Chains A and B, each alone.
Chain A
Amino acid sequence: MPEGRVFDFIDHLDDWLEYLTKVLELSKDDRQTCVKYERQIKYLIRFRQGANSNINHNRLLHHYYGNKSLKEGDNIRFNRIDDSRQRRQLSKESERKVKEIIAEANQVMALDDMALEISAPIQNGYDDPSNNAFDLIKSAMSTQDLYFLQGPPGTGKTTAIVEMILQTLKAKPNARILVASETHVAVDNALDRLCLIGDESIHSKTMRYPRYAVTEFESKHTARTAAEIRANEVWNRALELAPQLTNLLYNVLEQGELENGEVKVPRWQFKNLADKHQIIGVTCNQIDHLLDEDSEDFDLVIVDECSKATLPEWIMAMSVAHKCILVGDHKQLPPTFCEEESEALDTLAEAKARLIKDGVIDKLFEHLPITMKGQLSKQYRMLPHIGSFISENFYNGHLRHHRKDTDHDFTHFGWFTYGSRGYRIPIQHGGVLENQREIEIITHSLVEICSRRKLKAAKSSQRKLSVAVITPYRAQCRALREAVSKLDIREYLAVEVDTVDAFQGRQADMVFFSFVRTTGPATFYADSRRMNVAISRARDAVYLVGDRKYIKSKNLDVLNKLLSLGVVESFLQHG
Chain B
Amino acid sequence: MKTEITFHWRKRNLKESVLAICYAVRLGYTSRDQLLSALPQFSKSRILLSLDALFSANMADVNMGVLSINSDMAIVEEIIGKPIVLPIPSMEDEAKPKLIRSVIFNLGLNNPAGVETLLKATVN
- Residues of A near any B CB (own CB < 8 A): 234-235, 237-238, 241-242, 244-245, 248-249, 252-254, 268-269, 271-273, 275-276, 292-294, 296
Contact = CB atoms under 8 A, between A and B. Distances in A.
Given A244-B27, A248-B23, A235 B41 contact: yes
A268 B45 CA distance: 13
Interface in B30-53: 37-46, 49
A252 B19 contact: yes
Nearest to B28: A245
Nearest to A276: B43
Contacts of A245: 23-24, 27, 29, 38-39
A242 B20 contact: no
Interface stretch (B9-17, B86-94, B103-111): B9-17
Contact of A272 (B19, B37, B38, B46): B46
Given A254-B16, A271-B13, A238 B41 contact: yes
A517 B68 CA distance: 76
Contact of A234 (B13, B15, B41, B45): B41
Interface of B: 11, 13-17, 19-20, 23-24, 27, 29, 37-46, 49
A103 to B, nearest CB: 29
Contacts of B24: 242, 245
A293 B45 contact: no
B46 A294 contact: yes
Contacts of B13: 268, 271, 292-294
Chain B, interface SS category: helix
A85 to B, nearest CB: 41
10 contacts: A237-B40, A245-B29, A248-B27, A249-B41, A254-B16, A268-B13, A275-B45, A276-B43, A292-B13, A294-B49
Contacts of A269: 41
A296 B45 CA distance: 9
Contacts of A294: 11, 13-14, 45-46, 49
Contacts of B38: 238, 241-242, 245
B37 A249 contact: no
Nearest to B50: A294
B5 to A, nearest CB: 22
A134 B38 CA distance: 45
A204 to B, nearest CB: 13
Contacts of A271: 13, 46
B25 to A, nearest CB: 10
Contacts of B16: 253-254, 268
Contacts of B41: 234-235, 238, 249, 269, 272
5 closest pairs, A vs B, by CB?
A275-B43, A242-B38, A292-B13, A272-B43, A234-B40
Residue of B19, B20, B38, B43 with most chain A CB atoms under a 10 A cut-off: B43
A13 to B, nearest CB: 28
B40 A252 contact: no
B15 A268 contact: yes
Contacts of B23: 245, 248-249, 252
Given A245-B23, A245-B39, A254-B15, 19 more contacts: A238-B38, A241-B40, A242-B29, A245-B38, A248-B27, A249-B19, A249-B20, A249-B23, A253-B16, A253-B19, A272-B41, A272-B42, A272-B46, A273-B43, A275-B43, A275-B44, A276-B43, A294-B45, A296-B45
A274 to B, nearest CB: 8
A262 to B, nearest CB: 18
Nearest to A254: B16
A96 to B, nearest CB: 36
A292 B46 CA distance: 11
Nearest to B12: A292
A293 B49 CA distance: 12
A308 B35 CA distance: 45
A294 B12 CA distance: 10
A263 to B, nearest CB: 14
A237 B40 CA distance: 7
A235 B20 CA distance: 13
Contacts of A235: 41
A242 B15 CA distance: 20
Contacts of A237: 40
A270 to B, nearest CB: 11
Contacts of B15: 254, 268
Nearest to A249: B20
A42 B17 CA distance: 26
Contacts of B42: 272
A325 to B, nearest CB: 25
B20 A253 contact: yes
Contact of A242 (B14, B27, B46, B49): B27
Contacts of A254: 15-16
Contacts of A238: 38-41
Contacts of A253: 16, 19-20
Contacts of B29: 242, 245
